[in-house]
């Protein structure tokens, strides 16, 4: 069939369901695509324009979409693979069509640090466009369907890669949109390349079973049809063998061989009124023995993708089990074609269609804000693709959650305030743990209190849905910024040390701006806060800085090598004043080792005394240290005490110890951490214990730049509620 013949077939398909379509627009889109893709070939050697034509055929034949959708399908690769631009498509056709094409296109012109990040950004972009116009995803799914139908021309590596992506992302999206027929075909085609042996085994058995079951299916069809006619119920019945992937999944879930799977047959009964659905259910249960626990009412409790049907499994003659699905004609169309079944545009309507029904797309994107690639894709699979559990509020409202959800997920699905103030939960009237797994039909009641301390960080590990985790992180981001900065800095610095790099190496004036730009933060505090509240991990950030870290490590190695090779040149003697690398001037000595006494830990601004030790250089004490008091100096050590002072040029930071005595209470340590963060003080060690008389004794080892910072820290610590004394130990 020539390209023109294929186009004529497309027009004929469109006329069958939409005679008033804008054929001038569709012809113009086809002509533009043919010119833009001229000279390009597909892997099978056919002109490239045959692919957009096939996608448009799927959009028309399978989904019955409007003229703009078909035009977008014809143009969907022009922005991505040709010299066409969004502006040109918008000018020639319309801004709406240009937006649809842009939404379907991948972000090929952007460089990413990993394949996962590229996949995440493409998905995020597509979902964002989908939240504005649902037709974006309908065209994209049609595009993927045709690619899978022609996958035999790709390399084995590309076949597996694209099939895995289809199984992980596009088939579940089709399911979420209720497009069951397309979902089944995508799954079967993906399985064909992911497990060709398993696929061949199932299809060969199905071919054999089809002949074996023909008589059985014909008999069941006649029995149900006869009883419907006798009861005056108008409708029709048809049976089918289940598709290969559903059987494959059941084999793995139940750890059975295909010859051990018996319910390979499913029947559908389509009627024309809602009451008749339940009448048919009575007829089926009267004709055949129902299997206990295998009845589901998706009419009373529809799925989030609008799917409605009654499902029951029964035992036929000879002990053969089979499933019966009962639904109205309208429910059937929605089940088969999803959103496309009642898309407003296909009736020639104007406006934005049914995007309100897909507000979950916007919520899903909001929940993923700020997450890294791995977390985004994991959460996407849970929120969008996982099996669901349906639970009830005490008022009888139905709440759908991902399978494995906990009361934490339930509380945050009601409202963030409910989750933040939750103190207890009841499941079916009984107090339950926060990590309990909810089951279908559970009645969940959340008990809240205005005096609740808020969520725990552990809740992010318990929650199943990204909506709950996102709201918990937002609470910590808003309420605990200072604490998050302290926690985040410690985590980031620890991860740097594991890589043999210090924080100073990455925070120098010449390096820091590039680091922050690469990590997409305005300041170090913003980055520390993000780590602290769980928005990103230190490991992920270090991964993005891999090249910088390797460059610093190389510089360190070169410096060490140069130091080893450099010849030792005697330095000229310098008399009286010189200072050490610790910023201390030692009178009368040069190039001497200086260390700070641990008994009093002096910092710049403290009056200091020096003591010449045996083999360890000069030990620097605070002047008020008991060990430096003149009354305690022995006569034979008199000549070893030496005058020292602080240098005018101090760029170091210094460790010192602070003792805090306070009345013990909840959140005392958290308040101390907040003060440390607000004064930009680095905490090196904290040791806290409670006494029998309800006092708290806390020892802090901190790193400060000088006396002013230290005094500011002490003043703020003294202002904390319950703190009685703050002092620096000496001696």
Active site residues per annotation: 80-81
Mind giving me the DSSP string for 591-603?
S--EEE-TTT---
Distance, CA of 103 to chain centre? 21
CA distance 688 to 673: 13
- The alpha-helical segments, DSSP class H, found in 348-388 are 359-367, 373-380
Measured from the Cβ of residue 293, the count of other Cβ atoms closer than 10 Å reads 7
Q: Which of 289, 277, 283 shows the shortest CA–CA distance to 325?
A: 277
Measured from the Cβ of residue 178, the count of other Cβ atoms closer than 10 Å reads 22
CA distance 64 to 18: 8
Q: Is 81 helix (H, G, I), strand (E, B) or coil?
A: helix
236, 206 in Cβ contact below 8 A? no
Q: At what angle do helices 135-149 and 95-104 cross, to 10 degrees?
A: 50
170, 177 in Cβ contact below 8 A? no
- The alpha-helical segments, DSSP class H, found in 534-624 are 538-544, 546-565
Virtual CA dihedral for 496, 502, 503, 506, nearest 10 degrees? -90
CA distance 670 to 481: 11
Q: Which of 304, 301, 277 shows the shortest CA–CA distance to 396?
A: 301
Query: Partners of 325 in the beta sheet?
Result: 268, 311
654, 703 in Cβ contact below 8 A? yes
Token reading at 282: 């009575």
CA distance 440 to 133: 33
Measured from the Cβ of residue 50, the count of other Cβ atoms closer than 10 Å reads 20
467, 399 in Cβ contact below 8 A? no
Q: Is 726 helix (H, G, I), strand (E, B) or coil?
A: strand
Query: Partners of 642 in the beta sheet?
Result: 610
Q: Which of 575, 584, 619 shows the shortest CA–CA distance to 600?
A: 619
CA distance 453 to 657: 31
Sign, CA torsion 355/359/362/368 = negative
402, with CB counted inside 10 A (0-12, 13-18, 19+), is buried
Q: What is the DSSP letter of 167?
A: I
63, 340 in Cβ contact below 8 A? yes
Sign, CA torsion 160/161/167/173 = negative
CA distance 217 to 226: 14
CA distance 393 to 669: 38
CA distances from 718 to 656, 671, 694, 724 (A): 17, 11, 18, 7
CA distance 686 to 689: 10
Phi, psi dihedrals of residue 406, rounded to the nearest 5°? -120, 170
443-463 b/e (C-beta count within 10 Å ≥ 16 → b)? ebbbebeeeeeebeeebbebb
């Amino acid at each position: 069939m020539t390209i023109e013949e294929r186009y004529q077939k497309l027009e004929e398909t469109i006329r069958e369901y939409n005679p008033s379509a804008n054929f001038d627009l569709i012809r113009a889109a086809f002509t533009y695509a043919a010119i833009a893709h001229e000279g390009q070939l597909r892997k099978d050697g056919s002109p490239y324009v045959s692919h957009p034509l096939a996608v448009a055929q799927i959009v028309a034949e399978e989904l019955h979409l409007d003229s703009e959708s078909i035009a977008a399908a014809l143009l969907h690769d022009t922005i991505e693979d040709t010299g066409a631009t969004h502006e040109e498509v918008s000018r020639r056709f319309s801004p709406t069509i240009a937006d649809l094409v842009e939404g379907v296109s991948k972000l090929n012109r952007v460089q990413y640090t990993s394949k996962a990040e590229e996949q995440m950004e493409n998905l995020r972009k597509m979902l964002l466009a989908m939240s504005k116009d649902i037709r974006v995803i309908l065209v994209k799914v049609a595009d993927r369907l045709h690619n899978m139908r022609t996958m035999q021309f790709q390399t084995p590596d590309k076949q597996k890669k694209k099939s895995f992506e289809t199984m992980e992302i596009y088939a579940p999206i089709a399911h979420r949109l209720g497009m069951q027929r397309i979902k089944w075909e995508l799954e079967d085609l993906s399985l064909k390349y992911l497990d060709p042996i398993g696929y061949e085994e199932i299809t060969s058995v199905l071919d054999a079973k089809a002949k074996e079951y023909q008589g059985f299916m014909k008999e069941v069809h006649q029995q149900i049809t006869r009883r419907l006619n006798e009861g005056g119920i108008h409708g029709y019945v048809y049976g089918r063998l289940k598709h290969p992937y559903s059987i494959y999944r059941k084999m793995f879930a139940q750890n059975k061989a295909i010859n051990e799977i018996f319910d390979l047959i499913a029947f559908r009964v389509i009627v024309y009124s809602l009451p008749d659905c339940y009448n048919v259910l009575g007829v089926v249960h009267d004709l055949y023995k129902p299997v206990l626990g295998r009845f589901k009412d998706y009419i009373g409790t529809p799925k989030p993708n609008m799917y409605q049907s009654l499902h029951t499994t029964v035992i036929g003659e000879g002990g053969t089990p089979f499933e019966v699905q009962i639904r109205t004609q309208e429910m059937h169309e929605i089940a088969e074609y999803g959103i496309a079944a009642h898309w407003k545009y296909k009736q020639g309507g104007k406006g934005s269609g049914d995007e309100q029904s897909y507000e979950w797309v916007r919520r899903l994107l909001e929940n993923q804000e700020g997450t890294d690639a791995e977390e985004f894709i994991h959460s996407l699979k849970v929120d969008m693709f996982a099996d669901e559990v349906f639970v009830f509020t005490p008022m009888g409202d139905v709440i759908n959650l991902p399978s494995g959800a906990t009361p934490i997920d339930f509380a945050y699905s009601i409202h963030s305030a409910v989750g933040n103030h939750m103190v207890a939960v009841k499941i079916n009237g009984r107090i339950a743990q926060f990590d309990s797994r909810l089951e279908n039909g559970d009645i969940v009641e959340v008990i809240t209190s205005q005096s609740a301390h808020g969520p725990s960080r552990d809740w992010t590990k318990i929650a199943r849905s990204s909506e709950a985790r996102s709201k918990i992180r937002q609470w910590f981001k808003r309420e605990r910024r200072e604490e998050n900065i302290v926690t985040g800095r410690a985590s980031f610095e620890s991860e740097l040390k594991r890589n043999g790099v210090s924080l100073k190496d990455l925070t120098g004036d010449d390096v820091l701006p590039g680091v922050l730009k690469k990590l997409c933060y305005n300041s170090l505090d913003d980055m520390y806060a993000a780590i602290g509240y769980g928005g990103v991990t230190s490991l992920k950030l270090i991964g993005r800085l891999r090249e910088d870290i390797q460059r610093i490590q190389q510089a360190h190695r070169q410096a060490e090598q140069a130091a080893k090779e450099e010849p030792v040149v005697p330095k000229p003697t310098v008399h009286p004043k010189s200072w050490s690398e610790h910023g201390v001037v030692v009178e009368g000595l040069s190039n001497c080792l200086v260390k700070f006494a641990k008994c009093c830990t002096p910092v710049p601004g403290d009056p200091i005394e020096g003591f010449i030790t045996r083999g360890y250089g000069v030990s620097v004490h605070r002047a008020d240290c008991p060990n430096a008091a003149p009354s305690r100096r022995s006569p034979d050590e008199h000549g070893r005490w030496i005058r020292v002072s602080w240098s005018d040029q101090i760029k170091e930071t210094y460790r010192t110890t602070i003792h805090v005595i306070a009345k013990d209470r909840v959140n005392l340590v958290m308040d101390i951490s907040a003060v440390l963060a607000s004064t930009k003080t680095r905490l090196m060690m904290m040791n806290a214990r409670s006494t029998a008389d309800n006092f708290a004794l806390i020892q802090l080892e901190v790193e400060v730049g000088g006396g002013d910072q230290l005094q500011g820290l002490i003043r703020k610590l003294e202002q904390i509620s319950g703190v009685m004394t703050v002092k620096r130990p000496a001696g």
